[in-house]
Amino acid sequence: MPAYFARRLAAVIPTLILVTMMVFCLQQLLPGDPALVLAGEDQDPNVVAYLHRKMHLDEPLPVRYGYWIAGVLRGDLGESLRIQRPVRQLIAEKLPVTLELALLAMGIALAIGVPAGIVSAVYRGTAWDYLANVFALWGLSTPNFWLGILMILLFSVTLGWLPASGYVSPWEDWRGNLAAMIMPAFVLGNAIAAILMRHTRSAMLQVLNADYVRTARAKGVSEPRVVLKHALRNALTPIITLGALEFGTLLSGAVLTEQVFSIPGFGKLIVDAVFNRDYLVVQGVVLFTATVYILLNLLADLAYFVVNPRMRG
Amino acid sequence: MSAADLTLTPAAAQEMQVSARPATAWRRLLRRRGAVLGLAVVLGFALLAVFASWVAPYDPLATSWSVIRKAPSAHYLFGTDELGRDVFSRVIWGARASLLAGLVSVCISSLLGVPIGLLAGYAGGWTDALISRFTDAMLALPFLILAIALAAFLGPSLSNAMVAIGLSATPIFIRLTRAQVLAVKVEDYVEAARAIGNPHWRIALRHILPNILPPLIVQSTLSIAAAIIAEASLSFLGLGQQPPAPSWGSMLNTAKNYIDNAPWMAIWPGLSIFLLVLSFNLLGDGLRDALDPRHK
């Protein structure tokens, strides 16, 4: 087992290095002198000169990358030019909000997607299966910002049940927090539920035909017990590891959902940074996201390895 | 939704290599109600996009202060927006931006991804290792976040959004092509082509490429759906089509501010995105079934 861990870990390092190179090279896409663009509209010569020094713009590209990556390794992702604060601090501040949204969304996605997938597999070819597949297609085809707007129209404007936007910290008022987060979490969870449903359905179809399920049935085990205990338990492993891989979908979706519901999270940070031409924040957020994604991937792989005895050999 | 959700699994793609003749596959596609419906809606939107100037009753950019935020009526089928523009005409013109974005982005990603994937799979060795690491790194950046970052650095416009989406979806095509090449290159006919002394480029283009096309066609169809949502998302964030040019995403962005007194501004553009994306997904699912007889 340690050999496998070491191999997986070693494979992650080149990927991480390449990601940092790509994120660094984003800056090269800026037309002209990056310092002029980064200095904002007034292009104060003092700011431009400061940026040239700070970003080592007079040095060749590989040297600049060296300076930048040395900073990144120390946890220094640069500083927001707009609000003069370290990017790391901004991320740390916004992350809990998005994390709460993501966890709620994942909970909703699991609560809808997994049962729908089970029903669809167990009643394959029936109206239930058809209904679950329609639901999955709906989830995959609905732009979540549109769903968000429709939900605001129904639950906030027409029925007046939930606030249309805004965010309250759960530590201040947990009811208010839940009221503000339930719609965005549903919107975000909807698409993931569709993906989970499809994965659960195919994983369940595979195990429902397995020998041990047939044996369980032959022994006279009741059908619900066969499905939930014998089949689902074995189908669940790939579903859970796949959940980790949906992190990217979750974050991409959070960008739009936070925009619709004006939630001050990670997604709003990157969008605001884009509009303020605060490129170091954009770069920092992208790098952070990719790193978390790679590490989650690694964890999912290792978890799969640990729970799946066949892979241990 | 992300592009990854619409990615073919290697197993499904490989099964598809048992590809049928085009005529048989076409007949099988036409037997699937969902796929035919999808195809019809896509063709309908394509016709609207091509003939927008004839079909749209009003100029999509013409503002009129006397008809601001009017509810749908016989004059204005889908109502008017905050500047008195006809929503129906803007939705029709918006189809052009969406379809163009879907097609151009997928052209970019397949034109880049397929040759690179062919090279990786066919050459093997360190070329493959290098390309594969690069692909892994690109796949680590969530699709929309990468597209947002690229669009931000390139500058907001529809063409830059298409480039950003196309580049972000490229690794999916590299990975799929590579996996297919690896499976096909050990086949007898490739060995035979090599034995009679064909040059490598000829083997790759004439003998391998045609045999890995079916899964690539399915992936392209599903990727168009993802690209249309991505374009709408970027335009919704203000990073795609710039106002006043009509795009479904930017129309929704404006509509969000008038949701309490002009909900029709939000309903039609969103419904159009949904229908077009759903149709491409239905068509992609149908193509997958039609090109792979074993897939259920």
Nearest CA in chain A to B224: A141
So what's the pLDDT on residue B294? 53
Listed range (A121-135, A211-225, B197-211) with the worst mean pLDDT: A211-225
Region A243-265: mean pLDDT is: 83
Work out the mean pLDDT of chain B and round it to a whole number. 87
The structure tokens listed for B288 are 């997958």
Give the least confident one: A3-12, A101-110, A155-164.
A3-12
- Contact at CB, B5 and A150, closer than 8 angstroms: no
What gap in Å lies between CA B232 and CA B94, rounded to an integer?
A: 10
Q: Span A74-81, mean pLDDT?
A: 84
The pLDDT value recorded for residue B82 is: 86
Q: Phi and psi for A86 in degrees, rounded to 5?
A: -60, 140
Task: Give the range among A31-45, A147-161, B6-20 with minimum mean pLDDT.
Answer: B6-20
Scan for tokens 């931006």, then name that residue. Answer: B97
CB of B138 within 8 Å of any CB in chain A? yes
Picking from B1, B138, B144, the nearest residue to A140 by CB comes out as: B1
Interface contact A146-B1, CB threshold 8 A: no
Show Cβ contacts of residue A293 under 8 Å, excluding neighbours closer than 6 positions: A247, A248, B140, B141, B142
For residue A54, pLDDT over 90 is answered with no
Q: In this model, does residue B144 exceed pLDDT 80? A: yes
| Higher per-residue pLDDT: B136 or A39 | B136
- Please say whether the beta carbons of B241 and B250 come within 8 A: yes
Mutate to test the interface with A, among B8, B128, B134, B153 (most CBs of A within 10 A): B153
pLDDT digits (tens, 9 = 90+) for A182-210: 999 999 999 889 988 988 888 888 888 88
Higher pLDDT, B42 or B144: B42
How far, CA to CA in Å, does B194 sit from each of A111, A215, A309, B271? Answer: 54, 50, 42, 52
Structure-model confidence comparison of residues A1 and A10, the more confident one: A10
pLDDT at B9: 62
Residue type, A239: I
Query: What letter represents residue B117's amino acid?
Result: G
Higher confidence at residue A118 or residue B293? A118
Q: Supply the pLDDT for residue B48.
A: 94
Per the CB < 8 A criterion, the answer to whether B268 and A146 are in contact is no
- The reply to whether residue B141 touches residue A29, judged by beta carbons under 8 angstroms, is no
Cβ pair A283:B149 closer than 8 A: yes
Q: Do A249 and B4 touch (CB under 8 A)?
A: yes
The pTM of this model reads 0.87
CB contacts of B286 in chain A (<8 Å) are: none
B137–A contact, CB cutoff 8 A = yes
Given CA atoms B101, B103, B109, B112 in this order, what sign does their dihedral have?
negative
Q: Is the pLDDT of residue B18 over 80?
A: no
From the list B203, B189, B210, the residue with the least C-alpha distance to B19 is: B210
B55 lies within 8 A of chain A by CB = no
pLDDT score recorded for residue B3: 43
Given a contact cutoff of 8 angstroms between Cβ atoms, the answer to whether B121 and B135 are in contact is: no
Q: Compute CA distances B22 → A271, B28, B149, B282, whole Å.
A: 45, 10, 40, 19
**Which residues between 248 and 287 in chain B have a beta carbon less than 8 angstroms from any beta carbon of chain A?**
252, 255-256, 259-260, 263, 266-267, 270, 273-274, 277-278, 281-282
Question: Which residue from B minimizes the CA distance to A11?
Answer: B133
Residue among A137, A157, A289 whose CB faces B281 most closely: A137
Asked if A146's CB is within 8 angstroms of B136's CB, the reply is: no
Q: Is A145 in contact with B255 (Cβ distance < 8 A)?
A: no
Q: Does A269 touch chain B (CB under 8 A)?
A: no
pLDDT band at A311 (very low <50, low <70, confident <90, very high): low
Mean pLDDT within A73-81 = 85
Residue A11 backbone dihedrals phi, psi, to 5 degrees: -70, -25
Tell me how close the Cα of A165 comes to any Cα of chain B, in angstroms: 11
Q: Which residues of A touch B252 (CB under 8 A)?
A: 143, 145-146, 149
SS3 readout for chain A = CHHHHHHHHHHHHHHHHHHHHHHHHHHHHCCCCHHHHHCCCCCCHHHHHHHHHHCCCCCCHHHHHHHHHHHHHCCCCCECCCCCCEHHHHHHHHHHHHHHHHHHHHHHHHHHHHHHHHHHHHCCCCHHHHHHHHHHHHHHHCCHHHHHHHHHHHHHHHCCCCCCCCCCCCCCCHHHHHHHHHHHHHHHHHHHHHHHHHHHHHHHHHHHCCHHHHHHHHCCCCHHHHHHHHHHHHHHHHHHHHHHHCHHHHHHHHHHHHHHHCCCCHHHHHHHHHHCCCHHHHHHHHHHHHHHHHHHHHHHHHHHHHHCHHHHC
User: Within an 8 Å CB–CB cutoff, is residue A130 touching chain B?
Assistant: no
Which residues 54-73 of A have a C-beta within 8 angstroms of B?
none
Task: Give the end-to-end CA distance of chain B in Å, rounded to a whole number.
Answer: 23
Question: What is the mean pLDDT of the segment spanning A250-255?
Answer: 84
A134 at B interface, C-beta within 8 A: no
pLDDT, tens digit (0-9, with 9 covering 90-100), for B145-192: 888 888 888 888 999 999 999 999 999 999 999 999 998 888 888 889
Decide if pLDDT at B10 tops 70: no
Q: Say if the Cβ atoms of B1 and A191 lie within 8 Å.
A: yes
**Percent with pLDDT over 90 in chain B:** 43
* pLDDT of A281 higher than 60: yes
A255/B270 Cβ within 8 A = no
Q: How much is the pLDDT for B293?
A: 55
Using an 8 Å CB-CB cutoff, list chain A residues near B233. Answer: 143, 145, 256
Whether residue B237 contacts residue A259, with contact meaning beta carbons closer than 8 Å, is answered with: yes
